[in-house]
Structure 1
Amino acid sequence: MPLVLLGAGGHAKVLFSLIKAAGRELLGVCDPGLAKAGASHWRGVPVLGGDDALKTLDPSTVGLVNGIGQLVGSGLRQRVYEEACADGFTFPVLIHPAAWVDDSVELGQGVQVMAGAIVQPDVRIGVNSVINTRASLDHDCVIAAHVHIAPGAVLCGGVVVAQGAFIGSGATLIQGVVICARSVVGAGTVVVREVPPDSIVKGLSVRPVPLTDS
């Protein structure tokens, strides 16, 4: 099934590269900013329009790629995914040819695995989650829906990351640790204990603080 990319920011650029490397057909991109600027093409592919352009597409003939990056405190990426699914669209799993994903791994709809990522046996990853460049997930990790594992993060075996959490670039999560829903692990952080819901942790995770106090 050919693809349509939603968004044209930095995350979308990485996905555009993945789509080309995987040999997938890209029909065009939908982006309100490009449409407003009157752009006809983006990186050589047609600009189909803004958000309204989806109404002109047949969900049975195209797959969507969620090119909206996950920003801390923003639910836009999840909202775009859920609204498109409600309209009957599907989001195929995308795995860069330079990633390594074990055959036993379970990947939900719309999961994106970027170049250099490693996903080891019996890992489960929920819908619309991103395993970014060179991230490493060891055996038996459970990643819920709408999670972002940023570039270079390392999750040791049996780590659990709940829905909507964000794991920053270069973070290390020791074996069996739990990151609760909507929490944020800062870049370079070493997590050694559970992080409560709606919290942010930086450095050694000795004292998580409420996300609103960050």
Structure 2
Amino acid sequence: MNKPIIIIGNGGHALVVAEILIQNQRKILGYTAPEETKNRFDLSYLGTDETILNYNSQEVDLAMGIGSIEPNNIRARIFKEFKEKGYHFTSCIHPKAIISDTATLSEGVQVMAGAIIQPFVQIHNNTIINTGASIDHECSIGENVHIAPGAVLSGNVHIESNCHIGTGATVIQGIHIGANSMVAAGAVVVNNIGYNCKVMGVPAKEV
């Protein structure tokens, strides 16, 4: 059953999420945010995130409208808090994304327009595959990861949780990226990356 949806957030990422939900003909109850601001889709302001608790967790779904720029972001914390309270996050899949039938997408995954996900890819909870990103065969992507617009992952790449792969970055085949790491925009990753690292450049080096 397609439950009505509450979007958490009202920034730019929330607009993209809202449009995907609208294109998929999902009913949106409104959005939550610290304060009311104009919504360009004229969605209703429901209140702060605590307002969600007024809705039965079995009768609504949530959609994460908060993007991420750095690891350990607020997006992961909010997802965890509401999951512990029994709420479910809907996945948002743009109709113009290309996703293999053998790919596995977990709860709350968001796949934006033009993204390509190839065979036997695994994408875990609350991860963003942003506009035009390309994920090749047999990649594994952990929870709370953001693959930014135009990023390219070759085959058999393993990315652990809470990572950010920047806009236009390239990761060659077979690379492992440890949790809580960031790859800067435009970087080319040719070596494994450890935990809690930030890399940039061509080829990518730790900074």
SS of 2:81 mapped into structure 1: helix
1:12 to 11, 14, 33: 14
Post-superposition shift, 1:207? Answer: 3.2
2:182 to 184, 197, 203: 184
Q: Residue 212 of structure 1 aligns with which residue?
A: none
TM-score (norm: length of structure 2):
0.95
More displaced, 19-28 or 106-115? Answer: 19-28
Q: What RMSD over aligned residues (CA atoms) do the two structures have, in Å?
A: 1.4
Q: Residue 150 of structure 1 aligns with which residue?
A: 148
Post-superposition shift, 1:144? Answer: 0.4
Q: Residue 132 of structure 1 aligns with which residue?
A: 130
SS of 1:45 mapped into structure 2: coil
Distance in 2, matches of 1:32 and 1:184, equals: 27
1:47 and 1:93, CA in 2 relative to 1: closer, same or farther beyond 3 A? same
Equivalent positions of 1:44-123 (< 5 A) are 44-123=42-121
Count residues in correspondence: 205
Distance in 2, matches of 1:132 and 1:73, equals: 16
Aligned 8 A contact 2:109 2:127 in 1? yes
Q: Residue 4 of structure 2 aligns with which residue?
A: 2
Which runs of 5 or more residues in structure 2 are unaligned? none
1:11 and 1:206, CA in 2 relative to 1: closer, same or farther beyond 3 A? closer
Amino acid at match of 2:92: L
Post-superposition shift, 1:49? Answer: 0.7
Distance in 1, matches of 2:35 and 2:185, equals: 29
Q: Residue 175 of structure 1 aligns with which residue?
A: 173
SS of 2:174 mapped into structure 1: coil
Aligned 8 A contact 2:71 2:163 in 1? no
Aligned 8 A contact 2:71 2:162 in 1? no
1:206 and 1:59, CA in 2 relative to 1: closer, same or farther beyond 3 A? closer
Q: Residue 23 of structure 1 aligns with which residue?
A: 25
SS of 1:48 mapped into structure 2: strand
Distance in 2, matches of 1:33 and 1:199, equals: 34
Aligned 8 A contact 1:112 1:129 in 2? yes
Post-superposition shift, 1:43? Answer: 2.4
Cα deviation code 1:15-47 (max 9, x no counterpart): 11111111111111111121xx6x7x6621211
Amino acid at match of 1:152: G
Aligned 8 A contact 1:29 1:42 in 2? no
Aligned 8 A contact 1:146 1:165 in 2? yes
Distance in 2, matches of 1:75 and 1:167, equals: 14
1:202 to 174, 179, 200: 200
Amino acid at match of 2:14: A
TM-score (norm: length of structure 1):
0.92
Cα deviation code 1:71-90 (max 9, x no counterpart): 31552100100001111100
SS of 1:28 mapped into structure 2: strand
Amino acid at match of 1:24: R
